[in-house]
Amino acid sequence: MRFETAVGPISAEVLGRRVKVMLTDPKHLKINIQLEKLLDWESVDFINTGVPHVVIRVKDLENIPIKEVGRKIRFHEIFSPEGTNVNFMKRMKDNLIEVRTYERGVEDETLACGTGSIASALISSLRDGNSSPVDVKTKGGEILRIYFKRQGDRFFDIWLEGDTNIVYKGELHEEALL
């Protein structure tokens, strides 16, 4: 199946209760961004996976004031005018990372972010040498699996796989279509 988005056509596969979506190739990779240190982080990197993402590597993911720190970085002048999403990433073991994301637009932490999970997995590949696939544990507790191909610092053929869940049911009345 294919569908059109603002960043181009997206392909998807339905695999039972799982869905696998191919995303656009990332761009604008920047390693070791220099920012005022707002907490005890190991590194700050940037990559655009369809939308802009900062990936901050930390040792302690539990005690970070995500909304406070995420907001400061999201609106930092080096990411203006549109700002950036902010991902806090912790390496758990080979090919497994945990991520918490502050999303622009929502202006708060979310339970999961697909493009943020991809950004974090790709940065983890660069920093830790993780090969495809990389599993990403989200704040909501789900594990997203990121597949990719890599040549040096260039990534392509990127797929995001995760479970499907009904999160809402509703009725659309005919008058809503007018």
Q: What is the DSSP string of the chain?
A: -EEEETTEEEEEEEETTEEEEEEPPPEEEE-S------S-EEEEEEEESSSEEEEEEES--TT--HHHHHHHHHT-GGGTTT--EEEEEEEEETTEEEEEEEETTTTEEES--HHHHHHHHHHHHHHH-PPSPEEEE-TTS-EEEEEEEEETTEEEEEEEEEE----------GGGG-
Domain coverage including residue 138? 26-145
pLDDT at 1: 87
| 151 lies in some domain | no
| 57 lies in some domain | yes
| 19 lies in some domain | no
pLDDT tens series, the chain, 178 aa: 888 887 778 889 998 999 999 998 999 999 999 988 888 899 999 999 999 999 999 999 999 999 999 999 999 999 999 999 999 999 999 999 999 999 999 999 999 999 999 999 999 999 999 999 999 999 999 999 999 999 999 999 999 999 988 878 888 888 887 7
| 171 lies in some domain | no
| 104 lies in some domain | yes
pLDDT at 119: 98
pLDDT at 53: 98
| 111 lies in some domain | yes
pLDDT at 87: 98
pLDDT at 176: 80
Number of domains in the chain: 1
| 160 lies in some domain | no
pTM of the full predicted structure? 0.90
| 2 lies in some domain | no
Domain CATH for 60? 3.10.310.10
